[in-house]
Structure 1
Amino acid sequence: MSTTFWELVESYCDDTGATEAAVQRKAGLNHGTFTAWRARGVPALPKVDVVVALADALKVDYEDLVRALLVSAEYLPAQVARARADGLAADRPALAARSGRSRGRRLREEQDAAATQPPSSGRPSVEG
C-alpha cells in the first residue's frame, strides 16, 4: 500500500493514464487546492465529503486514503501507518483492488438512507 496521499494519486494516474487535473476535477476540487497540497503538503485532514470524493475518484478504500492523508499531514508516522496497514490487511478479507464504490461512499449512502427514513416513535400505537 502507498503511504502518502501523493503516492496514491501517482499510483492511480500511472494505472489509469489519468492526469492529476482529471483526479481533482473528478473529486470536485479546485485546481488551487491540489496546487497548494502539491507545493506545501496536506496541512490537515480535509472535510469528510472531500475525503469520500477523493476515495471515489482514486478508487481506494476510505480508510486507506485517510491513513495516507494522516501520513501526508504528518499526524501519523509512515512506519506506523505501514505496520497498521499490514495488520489490517491480515485481519480483513481481501478486497478487489479499486473496484466499485469506496467504503466511505457506501457509508455515506447508508447514512443518507437512514436519514430519509421516517422517525419511529418507539411507542406502540393505541387503537381505541
Structure 2
Amino acid sequence: MPATFWELLQHYCDDTGATEAAVQRKARLNHGTFTAWRARGVPALPRVDVVVALADTLRVDYEDLVRALLVSAEYLPAEVARARASDPASDRAEAPTAARAGASRGRRLREEQDDAATRPTQDRAEA
C-alpha cells in the first residue's frame, strides 16, 4: 500500500488512466486543490466529507487514505504507516499500550515514532 497521499493518487491514476484533474472533479474538489497541496504540502487533514469523497473516488479504504494523508501532512512517519499497513492487526495489537492510564495521545504517538526509529535496521527492512 502506498504510504503518502501522492503515492496513493499516482497508483490510482496509473491503474485507471485517470488524471489528477479528473480525480479532483470526481471528488468535487476545487480545481487547484492538488496543486496547492503539492506546492505547500498537505497542511492538515481535510474535512471528513473531503476524505470520504477522495476515498470513494480513489477506491481505497477510508482508514488507508487517512493514514496516507497523515504521512503527507507529516503527522505520521512513513515507516510507521508502512508497518501498520503491512500488518493490519498491528493497530489492535498495540491497543493495550494506547490504553495505558496517564498516557496522552501525543505521548503515545511519540513513543510509537521512537519505537519505529530505534528498531534495528533489519527489523525495519522486514516491515
Q: TM-score, normalised by structure 2?
A: 0.68
Correspondence for 2:29: 29
Summarize the Cα distance change of 1:17–1:47 in structure 2 as closer, same or farther, 3 Å threshold.
same
Match of 2:45, as an amino acid?
Answer: L
- Looking at structure 1, the residues matched to 89 and 55 of structure 2 have their Cα atoms a distance apart, in angstroms, of 18
1:7-22 mapped onto 2 (5 Å cutoff) = 7-22=7-22
Alignment size in residue pairs: 92
Asked if residue 45 in structure 1 is aligned to residue 45 in structure 2, the reply is yes
- 1:1-128 matches, cutoff 5 A: 1-88=1-88
Contact kept in structure 1, 2:41 and 2:72, CA below 8 Å: yes
RMSD: 1.8
Q: Tell me which moved more, 53-62 or 80-89.
A: 80-89
Superposed CA offset, 1:13-44 (max 9, x none): 00000000000000000112111011111110
Runs of 4+ with >3 A deviation: none
What 5-or-longer segments of structure 1 have no aligned partner?
Answer: 92-128
Task: Note if contact 2:84-2:90 (Cα within 8 Å) is conserved in structure 1.
Answer: no
Q: Percent of aligned positions with the same letter in both sequences?
A: 85
Segments of structure 2 that go 5 or more residues without pairing to the other structure are 92-127
C-alpha distance in structure 2 between counterparts of 1:11 and 1:85, whole Å: 16
Select the structure that is richer in helix. 2
CA drift of 1:65 comes to 0.2
SS in 2 for 1:31: coil
Structure 1 length normalisation: TM-score?
0.68
CA distance, structure 2, for counterparts of residue 61 and residue 55 of structure 1: 6
Cα contact 2:4–2:72 (8 A) shared by 1: yes
Structure-1 separation of matches of 2:32 and 2:15: 24
Q: Is the 8 A contact 2:45 2:70 kept in 1?
A: yes
CA contact (8 A) 2:3 2:81 kept: yes
